[in-house]
């Protein structure tokens, strides 16, 4: 059984490989076809220190692994909160980038009716659906904002703490 210090040294000496796997696992988690029952992980084997990238079922336990990072599979549109006006602005900007002239919001028109009109306009004038467009744009934004080096630093910091006998409290759910 490897010590936390051993695992820390393995991870610290494998930064490039781990950052690449973290990015890959994060990308997998945002795949629109992904099941919400899965989680992509990057881990180290507790026995041999092997680097592991795997997809686990939601309740699957792998005690033989020290998990450095876990990314639940989600639909990107469900990973962020967007209001009707924000969705309409994103769709409007996408249409303009594509060289199209989408409908403008009337002065007295509310955000929800305008979004509905924008969705209908996109459905009638493009090969895409507004939902697919939003999902793809949000996925791109989440992928662009992902910082594998920072994720790895967080995991290394936790491993370093464990190697020194410092146990961090478990993360609290924001729903409380």
pLDDT digits 0-9 by tens, 62-89: 999 999 999 988 888 887 888 999 999 9
pLDDT of residue 79: 79
Q: Which residues contact 94 (CB under 8 A, 6 or more apart)?
A: 133, 137
pLDDT digits 0-9 by tens, 30-67: 985 656 789 999 999 999 999 999 999 878 999 999 99
Where does the pLDDT of residue 28 fall: very low under 50, low under 70, confident under 90, or very high at 90 and above?
Answer: very high
pLDDT of residue 47: 96
* C-alpha span between 19 and 98 (Å, rounded): 34
pLDDT digits 0-9 by tens, 112-150: 999 999 999 999 999 989 988 998 999 999 999 999 999
* pLDDT of residue 16 exceeding 90: yes
Strand order in the sheet with 65-72: 51-57, 38-45, 65-72
pLDDT of residue 35: 64
Which residue stretches of the chain are H helix? Answer: 4-12, 15-29, 76-79, 84-97, 111-125, 130-145, 148-163
pTM: 0.80
Rounded mean pLDDT of 8-12?
A: 96
pLDDT of residue 32: 54
């Amino acid at each position: 059984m490897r010590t936390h210090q051993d695992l820390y040294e393995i991870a610290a000496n494998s930064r490039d490989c781990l950052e690449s796997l973290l990015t890959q696992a994060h990308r997998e988690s945002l795949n629109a076809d992904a099941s919400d029952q899965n989680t992509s992980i990057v881990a180290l084997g507790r026995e041999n220190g092997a680097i592991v990238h795997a997809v686990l079922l939601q309740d699957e336990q792998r005690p033989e692994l020290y998990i450095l990072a876990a990314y639940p599979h989600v639909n990107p549109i469900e990973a962020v909160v967007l209001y009707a006006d924000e969705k309409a602005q994103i769709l409007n900007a996408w249409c303009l980038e594509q060289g199209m002239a989408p409908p403008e919001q009337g002065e007295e028109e509310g955000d929800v009716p305008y979004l509905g009109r924008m969705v209908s306009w996109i459905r009638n004038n493009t090969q895409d659906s507004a939902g697919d467009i939003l999902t793809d744009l949000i996925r791109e934004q989440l992928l662009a904002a992902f910082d594998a080096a920072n994720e790895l630093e967080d995991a290394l910091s936790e491993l370093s703490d464990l190697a020194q006998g410092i146990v961090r409290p478990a993360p609290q759910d924001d729903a409380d």
